[in-house]
Structure 1
Amino acid sequence: MTEEARHRALARGLRILEAVADGRGGLTVTELAELTGTDKSSVSRLVATLVDLGFLARLGNRRVVLTGRVLSLAKGFQKQYNLSEIARPYLKELCDVVGETVILTIRQGDYTVSIEQIDPEQPFRMVPHIGNLAPLHATAAGRAILFALPVVEQHRILDNLRDAPVEHPEVRLDRESWARELELARSRGYVWIPRTDDVERVAALAQDRNGLPLAAVSVYGPKYRMQSRVTELGREARATAAKMSRAAYGIRAREHGQ
């Protein structure tokens, strides 16, 4: 199956889930074909796959309904939404203390996505980052998350992202430079990537109760304001991340992999 065909199949599968969610008492394959504009044979195959994956269940009247597994996806979204709510006062406090833009970032597969941004009252501000995707190895926030994952998973991600496009060549991270950067991040307690542009970025990790990545807290700002304050800002970001961990899970964040 080509990549384009896989994309089409995924889109059809999602439309089927949406149609079943809107239908009361379940829907038959014929009804799904009519609602989604897809031929019955394709719908039948997709329904079978979704049943095998546990997202749909068959009833005795040939109808299919959603299962509780779909609810787990909604809970995942709700968890992210709640994380923003939990984090916001701490991000605002950090922004007020350091006088720079503060961003909350979470993992999405081998990438990161920014879900919250607090800007200071400064003449120079960062452009909005909400919704921005970036490879895990290419940003300070991404590395804060990456370095807290199991080593085998870190290697897998680095291999997957070997040819991923990056905005600046100096942010590329291969296995040779990985060990050095990991040790630096652990010794500092935060991540800072020297770059050739005019913006500085430092990030620290908020952890879940198992010590795995919950989110990264980043401080962004112009180099002329931040360059001499990287250590201070990194420590402030780390302190804020620890507060978030305690607020989210009632735990004391461990010192590792940030």
Structure 2
Amino acid sequence: MNQSVIKALRLLDFFLEEKKELTLSEIATKSNMPKPSAYRFLTSLEVSGFLVKIKNTEQDVRYRLGLKLLELGNIVSEQLDLRTIALPWMRELCADINEAVHLVILDGDEAVYIEKVESSQAVRLHTRVGKRSELYIGSGPKLLLAYLPETERETLLEKMTFTKLTQYTIKNKEILYKEIEQIRCNGYSISKGEQDEETIGISYPVLDYTHKVIAALTVSGPNTRMQVKVEETIRKKTKETASRISHELGYIETNVL
């Protein structure tokens, strides 16, 4: 555990009090730190965008919270809203098809599973909330990659390396480019045995009011059950559920996908 990082971040707590701007002396006193140490931590927070330095005069220098915290707070708020809105629909979908339903979002250069509703089937998938995945593995991660703005997608593709988990895992960029093109053409993503040879996953995009794809709604299960049900019911019902979640998030249907 990095104690320096913890000490620096704890300084932000002092700005949660009534006084919104603090001097170096005030922060040093509140934190019981020598001024040089406090100054060093404050400078790191300033460079990172967590604090803004206001220099009124040479003698009057103050700090206040920076916009980076607002940016992060908005992201957390959006994720909480997304999970709150999506969960009842996910439960309904799971009850209808009796397969595992996941909600997947992008976090940097990885996909993260932020919600899951488990089926009542005896044979289940070993997935969990918080699981991370490379963007070329699985229907949800691939869908999120496919719907990124082109410049962001190309940046991620440039630094991507491929690890073979099964014989069906995508093994190079050429295959992945074709997969991305297919996903954008179809409007959904399918994974067959890419993480586990015995599983199939299908994902549809969840969009917000700006028409941005912010999540993938994913249904997955053993191929012995999914193979028959995907074309018959699961694809249609997953698409309908993703659309309902999107509408609750303010999305108005157009032909953007």
Please give the TM-score of this superposition, normalised by the length of structure 1. Answer: 0.80
My pick for the range that moved more, 131-140 or 67-76, is 67-76
My pick for the range that moved more, 126-135 or 65-74, is 65-74
The answer to whether the 8 A contact 1:246-1:253 is kept is: no
Write the letter of the residue equivalent to 1:141: G
My pick for the range that moved more, 241-250 or 59-68, is 59-68
Q: Tell which structure's C-alpha radius of gyration is larger.
A: 2
My pick for the range that moved more, 225-234 or 86-95, is 225-234
The answer to whether the 8 A contact 2:139-2:218 is kept is: yes
Is 1:241 matched up with 2:242? yes
Write the letter of the residue equivalent to 1:143: K
Is 1:78 matched up with 2:72? no
**1:148-227 equivalence runs, <5 A:** 148-162=147-161, 167-168=165-166, 170-172=168-170, 174-195=172-193, 197-227=197-227
Superposition CA RMSD, Å: 3.1
Aligned partner of 1:132 in structure 2 is 131
Secondary structure, aligned partner of 1:249: coil
**1:13-92 equivalence runs, <5 A:** 13-17=8-12, 19-21=13-15, 25=19, 26-29=21-24, 41=36, 43-51=38-46, 54-58=49-53, 62-67=61-66, 69-92=68-91
- CA displacement at 1:187 relative to structure 2: 3.9
How far apart, in 2, do the equivalents of 1:253 and 1:123 lie?
Answer: 40
Write the letter of the residue equivalent to 2:230: V
Aligned residues: 249
How far apart, in 2, do the equivalents of 1:229 and 1:22 lie?
Answer: 53
How far apart, in 1, do the equivalents of 2:62 and 2:167 lie?
Answer: 53
Please give the TM-score of this superposition, normalised by the length of structure 2. Answer: 0.80
Structure 2 residues not aligned, in runs of 5+: none
Aligned partner of 1:229 in structure 2 is 229
Report % sequence identity: 26
The answer to whether the 8 A contact 2:170-2:176 is kept is: no
What do residues 154-179 of structure 1 show as CA deviations (whole Å, max 9, x unaligned)? 2211222325x564464335331123
- CA displacement at 1:252 relative to structure 2: 1.4
**1:100-139 equivalence runs, <5 A:** 100-139=99-138
How far apart, in 2, do the equivalents of 1:158 and 1:169 lie?
Answer: 21
My pick for the range that moved more, 133-142 or 232-241, is 232-241
Distance 1:44 1:255, change over 3 A: same
